[in-house]
Amino acid sequence: MTDEPVEGFAGLGLRAELLSALSTLGYEEPTPIQREAIPPLVEGHDLVGQAATGTGKTAAFALPVLQGLTPGAADDAGPQALVLVPTRELAEQVSQAVHRYGRELGVRVLPVYGGQPIGRQLQALRRGVDVVVGTPGRVLDHIERETLRLGDVRTVVLDEADEMLDMGFAEDIEAILAETPATRQTVLFSATMPPRIDSIARRHLNDPVRITMGRKAVSPDELPLIRQSAYLVARPHRTAALGRILDVEAPAAAIVFCRTREEVDQVTEALNGRGYRAEALHGGMSQDQRDRVMGRLRGGSTELLVATDVAARGLDVEQLTHVINYNVPAAPEAYVHRIGRVGRAGREGCAITLAEPREQRMLKAIERLTGQRITLEKLPTVTDLRARRLELTRAALQSSLETDDLERYRVVLDSLTGEFDVEDIALAAVRLLHEAAGGDADEKEIPSPEPPAERPGRAGRAAPGKARGSQSGVTRLFFGIGRQAGLRPQDLVGAIAGESGLSAREIGAIQITDRFSLVEVPESAADTVIMAMRRSTIRGRRPTVRRERFTPR
């Protein structure tokens, strides 16, 4: 390791322990957002940064936060820095990054989010932590329990602020900021800057430095040779559609990208049940487990890898032919990064995206960034699938005829030719091969998605007390908490989105009564939501959560 990478960061005024950690981690030159943001933050200025995912903004705020810490302060003191993020996945990512950068400082970092035992969080908070990284709902829960005191906070970071507002966390963020000192440093990062974000900045930031990292246009020369297509699929049929597409495409090796760990596990199980050799790869796995999975993929014993973006960082598998997005990526840059794993060295690759009808605008944003068209395809029908399977059977027979030594099977043929016609024998052999490979398994047609309907309320939610009628593919969940506990619609949206990985846009009508609430969620996500919410708290309570058993009058 040369001194040059360290000099790049040393020019930003960072302390020696941080420079050493960056060198150990192999960081080279600062990214543009890091070069612009770190110096003013180190000097103590407030900052508003507009930057998309993947630009290096975590280090842009984490390094200055660590620069100003006094690690290992008195155990009875509260944290010195608070980072608010929209999801538990991001809370884990940021927490891990802060821990890596601050290892030589002995910094104590605690991720705080639902879906994990709160007792562990309480123990860590009692022992004392330097940095808390959490979702607004769980942070506010700790504040209301009086287990988290923010009077010693020097820096507050609002990461992906637009996403937090979309998830209904605006009031929670206001309540949390009210608990912090007025003299704090405040940092706000957001991929977009709608008026409500600017309003927060005006109210809570003091003469902030403003940085905008525009999206770099991707020239066609930089993009790999890839066939790009998308299929419009209703959420309840997405897994079936994925299996159908894989059957028709028959990739030699592919990565299927999912948003959450739970989704990775569910998709992996479904694909293995369909007869594929699929392996999961996500942040909950140890490095040894990851290495074994990658070894099986490179060795050919696994044909499909199902992964989250975080787990797939740095992944480079030469034999990949397909990248499949189980969901439309949240940021166009993430799409470009994903599909860049195929079509290398002049080889043609294939990028396939499953999208709900309302996500077509996100596909258009990707097209604008790349300057390339994503072709909307029709899902293969049962007839298409059967034709493709027959073609694969024919190809397998042709390969065997061209390469295999078939002479040792002649004794079987000779024993049958006296009784049956050779053509009939061949057809019977073809049928056996075809059935052994899956044949004409019983398949149902996947319905075409309906166009997105106009729905009342922000983010597609009906006003409380005006629940929609049940729709196909939608399930209503019962929550044993209501107005008497001070429950608001945004509490439910924030909790469900933050704990289960479901996006705010996928949550349907909400009906709140005095003692209970009803929330519509996609049928395919209902069990995941129930499991996540049974481990979580809302407004300091752990309510009963189950499928609705009756329709209130």
DSSP SS3 for 10? helix
Report if residue 242 sits inside a domain.
Answer: yes
- Do 354 and 501 sit in the same domain of this protein? no
Report if residue 444 sits inside a domain.
Answer: no
Token pair for 480: 């044993």
Report if residue 115 sits inside a domain.
Answer: yes
| 424 contact partners, CB below 8 Å, separation of at least 6 | none
Which residue, 343, 363, 380, sits at the end of a domain? 380
* 350 beta partners: 227, 322
Report if residue 441 sits inside a domain.
Answer: no
| CATH value at residue 511 | 3.30.70.330
- Do 75 and 183 sit in the same domain of this protein? yes
Closest CA to 278 of 262, 261, 266: 266
- Do 479 and 521 sit in the same domain of this protein? yes
pLDDT tens digits in sequence order for the chain, 553 residues long: 333 334 578 888 899 999 988 888 777 678 888 999 999 999 999 999 987 665 678 899 999 999 988 876 655 678 999 999 988 778 888 998 899 999 889 899 999 987 677 888 888 888 889 999 999 989 998 999 899 999 999 999 999 888 788 778 888 999 999 999 999 999 999 877 878 888 899 999 999 999 987 544 444 454 556 889 999 998 888 999 999 999 888 888 889 998 777 888 889 999 988 888 888 887 667 767 777 887 787 777 788 999 887 666 556 566 788 999 998 886 677 788 788 777 655 567 899 999 988 778 788 888 887 778 898 888 888 887 778 778 878 888 888 888 777 888 888 888 888 888 888 888 888 888 877 766 655 567 887 775 444 333 333 333 333 333 334 478 889 898 888 888 888 888 888 887 787 777 788 888 888 788 888 888 888 888 898 888 788 887 888 898 886 443 3
- Do 254 and 193 sit in the same domain of this protein? no
The Cα 510–Cα 355 span in angstroms is 24
Closest CA to 251 of 295, 184, 302, 208: 302
The Cα 309–Cα 89 span in angstroms is 11
Instruction: Give the model's pLDDT for residue 337.
Output: 76
Q: Which helix (H) or strand (E) holds 15?
A: none
| CATH value at residue 24 | 3.40.50.300
Backbone angles phi, psi at 213, to 5 degrees: -105, 95
Closest CA to 94 of 81, 104, 80: 81
Which residue, 212, 235, 251, sits at the end of a domain? 212
**What's the order of all strands across the beta sheet hosting 322-325?**
278-281, 304-308, 254-258, 322-325, 349-355, 226-232, 375-377
- Do 360 and 431 sit in the same domain of this protein? no
Contact (Cβ atoms closer than 8 angstroms) between residue 287 and residue 237: no
- Do 132 and 266 sit in the same domain of this protein? no
- Do 50 and 173 sit in the same domain of this protein? yes
DSSP SS3 for 508? coil
Instruction: Give the model's pLDDT for residue 217.
Output: 47
- Do 162 and 288 sit in the same domain of this protein? no
Backbone angles phi, psi at 249, to 5 degrees: -75, -35
Note down the domain range covering 420. 383-436
The Cα 86–Cα 159 span in angstroms is 8
Q: How are beta strands 510-512 and 474-479 bridged, if at all? A: unpaired
The pTM for the full model equals 0.49
Report if residue 134 sits inside a domain.
Answer: yes
Q: What share of the chain is helix, strand, coil (3-state, %, to 5)?
A: 45, 15, 40
Q: Cα torsion for 69, 74, 77, 81, to the nearest 10°?
A: 10
Report if residue 552 sits inside a domain.
Answer: no
- Do 465 and 514 sit in the same domain of this protein? yes
Instruction: Give the model's pLDDT for residue 473.
Output: 74
Give the length of the chain: 553
Instruction: Give the model's pLDDT for residue 281.
Output: 85
Q: How are beta strands 510-512 and 517-522 bridged, if at all? A: antiparallel
Contact (Cβ atoms closer than 8 angstroms) between residue 541 and residue 485: yes
Full 3-state SS string of 92-144: HHHHHHHHHHCHHHCCCEEEECCCCCHHHHHHHHHHCCCEEEECHHHHHHHHH
Instruction: Give the model's pLDDT for residue 47.
Output: 96
Full 3-state SS string of 136-196: HHHHHHHHHHCCCCCCCCCEEEECCHHHHHHCCCHHHHHHHHCCCCCCCEEEEEECCCCHH
Task: Tell me the C-alpha to C-alpha distance, in Å, between residue 67 and each of 93, 99, 100, 351.
Answer: 19, 13, 14, 42
Q: What's at 305, amino acid-wise? A: L
The per-residue b/e assignment along 274-313, b for 16 or more CB within 10 angstroms, e otherwise, is bebebbbbbbebeeeebeebbeebeeeebbbbbbbbebbe
Which residue, 156, 181, 212, sits at the end of a domain? 212
| 405 contact partners, CB below 8 Å, separation of at least 6 | none
- Do 350 and 228 sit in the same domain of this protein? yes
- Do 113 and 28 sit in the same domain of this protein? yes
Backbone angles phi, psi at 442, to 5 degrees: -65, 110
Task: Tell me the C-alpha to C-alpha distance, in Å, between residue 59 and each of 54, 205, 233, 273.
Answer: 11, 21, 37, 41
Q: How are beta strands 474-479 and 517-522 bridged, if at all? A: antiparallel
- Do 38 and 172 sit in the same domain of this protein? yes
Domain count, the chain: 4
Token pair for 470: 């049940």
- Neighbouring C-beta atoms of residue 433, cutoff 10 Å: 16
Report if residue 543 sits inside a domain.
Answer: yes
Token pair for 519: 């929330």
Helix segments in 256-286, DSSP class H: 261-273
Report if residue 94 sits inside a domain.
Answer: yes
* Backbone φ/ψ region at 439: left (φ over 0), alpha (ψ -120 to 50), beta: left
The Cα 74–Cα 261 span in angstroms is 36
Q: What's at 467, amino acid-wise? A: A
